[in-house]
Amino acid sequence: MSMNRKIAYINLTTREIKTENIPEKIRRLYLGGRGLDNYLLYNHVSPNIDPLSSENVAIISAGLLVGTLASASSRTHVAAKSPLTGFIGSANVGGFFGPEMRQAGFDHLVIKGKSEKPVYLYLNNGKIEIRDASNLWGKDSCLTQTMIQKELNDTDVKSLCIGQAGENLVRYACIRTSVKNAAGRTGIGAVWGSKNLKAVAAKGTMNIKIAHAMEALEYNKKIIDQIVSAKVSKTMQKLGTLFIWGATNSTGLVRTRNFQLNQLTNADDVEPESIEEELVGTAGCFGCQIHCRGKYIIKHGKYKGTYDEGPEYTSLGAFASEVGCTSKNTVLVGNHLVNYYGLDTLETGSMISWAMELYEKGILTKKDTNGLDLTWGNDETVIKLIHMIANREGLGDILAEGPIRAADIIGKDSLKYQIHVKGMSNLHSDERPTPALALNVAVSSRGSDHLRGRPAIDLYHLPEKFLKKIYGNPVPYDGPLTSDYRDYEGKPWQVIWQEICYEAVDCLGICKFHTVFLGPNMPAFDEWTKLIYFNTGMEFTAKEIWDVGDRGYTMERLFNIREGLNRSHDNLVDPYFDEPVPLGLPVVRGKFIDRDKFKIMLDQYYELHGWDENGVPKPETLEKLSLNNEPSGLL
């Protein structure tokens, strides 16, 4: 059955491996994926440990529906205490590893300790081997996967791995699989590097039995028709997530030159339609019909002839608007290099743009940069700094530490130019005209975030009647909602609804593009009840799935509070409040976040979550969500 996959505990220090069944009680509380990972983190990570010590744990999981007949059931979740923020470390990745991991017999891995030498894990039909990876150390993320396949004499083996950035403990190193797929944000790759864990490979033939196969097929066909007929899906099939940048830059909603401007001008060469000219096809993840990932071959310069995939919306911001570059070749090369090294693309671009502003202000000089010219729009410098960060060379060694630590090293009031929340750099979007998106950035559990609570459909000017239909299900909401994304009323509930929606999606292991993220008519809680039943046989109401999401998100809050989080961390940097946006369409120009109204939004957000005025979950909230006895040590 799809429910009989196991959890494995692997101690790299002692090389002990233990497997257990996952109790149905835990399944009903967390489903799987991110939600159960949150439970495992809270129960297996001691408070206040160094994230790069052997005491941290590295968790890998597949969601409940991964590898089933559910559409886009491809997602793998990785977790640890973050070496970037010190709070929850959590990231999600598509591709084909998750389904292969389940075919190999496992849903969750809890990896403890530290190996004396580089190793990788091999999962195969219920067994786990710890194998020598000395020959893989120092290799890039793509070559690593190819070498593992060659060693195992099987090109069907799928791997998660780190590149040189993870080995060098760059605090925003990510986990990589296939050519492009990356579990970015929060620096899980550095945790693997600290454990001398180079990769986890999987190959399995343990078929996943579907509880009601014919009904699952028929219902999934209905879901697919719903998804692919949406306008946003058709657009993504053509341009991928790049289309978002085209719309937001035209409006004036992208941060440019760090946070000095909100629109990149003279940018025809990096418009989505221009980058589309470089594509030689598209690719998709397991079970996906959208195929949103571009495939391209670099045509110019040192990397001419190099194949890669992407770039995503985030890479376009990282290597164009944030750093003031207007060459698509810089975007394509930058995207390739972060894939090669295993770097978080968003954090890399943000740290480079911050350094460029410090250079402009005279806080960094050519003496500090060893002669490197950090003026805005310097394409060669951007590419050079990517190499330097991944290899921890010169200034790159400082930038590899992330926003807070790098600012501490440089000093000279450099922190005030960092655009971050909880020590993680913001997306390259500018939320000053959009209070709902600004609140999401401030309160997100893993630091500034656009994938854990962003009500992106707030930008669509949807009728209030339609908003009530979305945000009033599966729990009733009688408060205000507004079609104007510049307003403040009702935004806290939109953020909470999206938080719980995305948490549930990550527990199921399906793609966010197949739910209410960019498309308001996409599947959500009601559809998930049927997907769960037809594929697994488990019966859930829409409200029970909501509770799973609420429980998982609240567990993240508990973890963060235990690590020192308080209300002051749920905030935005001063420019959001003090500096109106200078460019863009009249609808956004001159906008900024009102401090008093933001405080009211935050108070409402806490209250609606069932948290006190300091953001601490109330005892009755914990009891309602069955969290009042955590850590319980049940698994």
Q: For residue range 594-624, what is the model confidence (pLDDT) as tens digits?
A: 999 999 999 999 999 999 999 999 999 999 9
The CA-to-CA distance between both ends of the chain, in Å, stands at: 21
Measured distance CA(288)–CA(514) in Å, rounded: 9
- The predicted-structure confidence for 418-429, as pLDDT tens digits, reads as follows 999 999 999 999
Residue 618 is classified by DSSP as P
HSE-CB at 562 with a 13 A cutoff on CA atoms is 18
Tell me which H or E stretch contains 471: helix 464-471
pLDDT higher for 234 or 548?
Answer: 548
Residue 555 has pLDDT above 60, yes or no: yes
SS3 322: coil
- Given a cut of 90, whether residue 139 has pLDDT beyond it is yes
> What's the rounded mean pLDDT across residues 320-340?
97
pLDDT for the residue 328? 96
Kindly tell me the number of DSSP H helices and DSSP E strands found in the chain: 24, 17
For 183-213, write each residue's pLDDT tens digit: 999 999 999 999 999 999 999 999 999 999 9
- pLDDT score for 281: 92
Long-range contacts of 335-338 (CB under 8 A, 24+ apart): 335/308, 335/310, 335/311, 336/298, 336/303, 336/306, 336/308, 337/383, 337/386, 337/387, 337/390, 338/182, 338/386
Domain 435-624 has CATH 1.10.12.10: no
Measured from the Cβ of residue 121, the count of other Cβ atoms closer than 10 Å reads 24
The CA–CA distances, whole Å, from 584 to 191, 247, 256, 611 equal: 40, 11, 12, 37
**Strand pairing category for 119-124 and 76-81:** unpaired
What are the φ and ψ backbone dihedral angles of 33, each rounded to 5 degrees? 50, -135
Q: Please, what is the average pLDDT of the chain? A: 96
Whether the bond into 631 is cis, omega within 30 of 0: yes
SS3 254: strand
CA distance 337 to 386: 7
Amino acid identity for residue 460 in this structure: Y
114: helix, coil or strand? Answer: coil
Structure token pair of residue 147: 């070498």
**What pairs with residue 181 in β-bridges?**
177
Determine the average pLDDT of the residues in 37-50: 98
State how far the Cα of 327 lies from the Cα of 267, in Å rounded to an integer.
8
**CA trace torsion 6, 9, 10, 13 (10° rounding):** -170
Return the pLDDT at 606. Answer: 98
Secondary structure (3-state) at 224: helix
pLDDT at 2: 63
CB atoms closer than 10 angstroms to residue 16: 12
Nearest to 76 by CA among 66, 86, 85: 66
Q: Give the tokens for residue 586.
A: 């009249």
Mean pLDDT on 573-577: 98
pLDDT bin (cut points 50, 70, 90) of residue 1 is low
- When pLDDT is averaged across residues 530-550 and rounded to a whole number, the result is 97
SS3 label, residue 81: strand
Residue (of 90, 254, 84) closest to 169 by Cα position = 84
Interval 251-301: pLDDT, tens: 999 999 999 999 999 999 999 999 999 999 999 999 999 999 999 999 999
Cβ-based neighbour number of residue 81 at 10 Å: 29
Residue-level pLDDT at 377: 97
* Residue 280: its H or E element: strand 279-283
Domains 6-203 and 435-624 share a fold: no
**Any idea which residue has 């809680």 for tokens?**
525
CATH annotation of 241-425? 1.10.569.10
The continuous run of DSSP H or E covering 88 comes out as: strand 88-93
User: Are 156 and 148 within 8 A, CB to CB?
Assistant: no
Q: Can the peptide bond before residue 311 be classed as cis, meaning omega within 30 degrees of 0?
A: yes
3-state secondary structure 496-510: HHHHHHHHHHHHHCC
Lowest-confidence region among 62-76, 222-236, 564-578: 222-236
Residue 11 CA to residue 17 CA, distance in Å, equals 6
Residue ranges covered by each domain of the chain: 6-203, 241-425, 435-624
Q: Round to whole Å and give the CA distance between 493 and 605.
A: 7
Model confidence pTM above 0.85: yes
Collapsing DSSP to helix, strand or coil, 340 comes out as helix
* 563-572 mean pLDDT: 98
Which residues, 6+ apart, have CB-to-CB distance to 431 below 8 Å? 253, 437, 438, 441, 576, 593
For residues 224 and 221, give the distance between their C-alpha atoms in angstroms, rounded to a whole number: 5
Residue 460, number of CB atoms within 10 A of its CB: 15
Contact 484, 435 (CB under 8 A): no
What is the residue whose two structure tokens read 């850590």? Answer: 631
pLDDT tens-digit readout, 18-36: 999 999 999 999 999 999 9
614 touches 566 (CB < 8 A): yes
Residues in the chain: 635
DSSP string, 4-34: --EEEEEETTTTEEEEE---HHHHHHH-SHH
DSSP 429: B
* Residue 240, pLDDT score: 87
Closest CA to 389 of 180, 162, 165, 84: 165
Nearest to 283 by CA among 307, 304, 301: 307
pLDDT(239) > 90: no
Residue 279's DSSP bridge partners are: 296
Measured in whole angstroms, the distance separating CA 438 from the mean position of its chain's CA atoms is 17
Domain over 6-203 is classified CATH 3.30.450.20: no
Residue 134 to residue 122: CA distance in whole angstroms: 15
pLDDT given for residue 246 in this prediction: 87
Neighbouring residues of 32: CB distance < 8 A, sequence distance ≥ 6: 22, 61, 62, 63, 64, 66, 107, 108, 507, 508, 509
Residue given tokens 């020959």 in the structure block: 135
- pLDDT for 238 equals 86
**Predicted local distance difference test score (pLDDT) of residue 507:** 98
